[in-house]
Amino acid sequence: MYTENYLEVYYYEDPNFIRLSKYGAPANQESLIFSEVDFKWNVNDVEKFRKYGNFTCRFTSLDGKKVIYTKANMVNYPLGSSDEILPTHIKCPSPLWNGAEQAKLDISCNGVDFLGDFAFTFSEVLDVYRIVPLAGPNEGLTKVKMYGSGFTGTKDEIYFKWGVIDTEKEVKEQVLEYIWNEQDFAAHAMVEGSEIL
């Protein structure tokens, strides 16, 4: 459809936002949230959604005094699915929030009209104060206790990421020799350069 100014506008059927992958996040974490969506692809044009979509998540405190918007986008879930598959979800990050609080999450396809009205909980700040013990054998199976704040209740799963830090041992004398050689080379180059001028 075109207006008299030949600006293209189009209408779409409102999608249904079905459920969220999580209904809460720690106040100090930007957690990814996925919303399962019925985009009504039988009547809506996926290419127009991709081209003109302004997907936005709006987090609002229950008293309405605090509102934060985050950028969202359409995705195929699970992530890594073929791009030929029609999008099934909206993905957006939760914002940093000031303290533990109940809020509301709404989602928009055009950045103006919001739907969803999901209850969302910002829990206390996630922080690890202490880990006991700090070491264990390579074989694993050591029971580790973590003390901190912001761990959610038993109905939500808590994930921990374990990794290694690769470091390479350097000989101090070799590093010092390298630094001296670099400085010596730079000094000679300056002298030679000034002689040419």
- Is residue 172 over pLDDT 60? yes
- What is the reported pTM? 0.67
Percentage of the chain with pLDDT > 70? Answer: 75
- Is residue 25 over pLDDT 70? yes
Query: Which range, of 10-24, 47-61, 86-100, 122-136, averages the lowest pLDDT?
Result: 122-136
> What is the CATH code of the structural domain delimited by 16-123?
2.60.40.10
Res. 196 pLDDT band, cuts 50 70 90: very low
- Is residue 61 over pLDDT 90? yes
- Is residue 153 over pLDDT 70? no
Percentage of the chain with pLDDT > 90? Answer: 44
Task: Give residue 34's identity as a one-letter amino acid code.
Answer: F
Q: What are phi and psi of 125, to 5 degrees?
A: -55, 130
Query: What pLDDT, on a 0 to 100 scale, did the predictor assign at position 112?
Result: 94
Q: What are phi and psi of 187, to 5 degrees?
A: -65, -45
Query: Tokens 């692809």, residue?
Result: 41
Angstrom CA distances, 30 to 27, 73, 94, 126, 152, stand at: 8, 16, 5, 11, 15
- Helix or strand run (H / E) with residue 52: helix 46-52
3 compared with 162, residue with greater pLDDT: 162
Query: What pLDDT, on a 0 to 100 scale, did the predictor assign at position 58?
Result: 97
CA angle (46, 51, 57) in 5-degree steps: 85
Say how far apart CA 190 and CA 25 lie, in whole Å.
58
Query: What pLDDT, on a 0 to 100 scale, did the predictor assign at position 69?
Result: 97
- Is residue 100 over pLDDT 50? yes
121-145 mean pLDDT:
85
CA angle (89, 94, 95) in 5-degree steps: 145
CA angle (124, 35, 65) in 5-degree steps: 50
- Helix or strand run (H / E) with residue 184: helix 172-196
* Mean pLDDT comparison of 43-47, 76-80, 154-158, 189-193, highest-scoring range: 43-47
- Is residue 135 over pLDDT 70? yes
Angstrom CA distances, 16 to 13, 36, 88, 164, stand at: 9, 9, 11, 43
Closest Cα partner for 112 from 166, 29, 52, 40?
A: 52
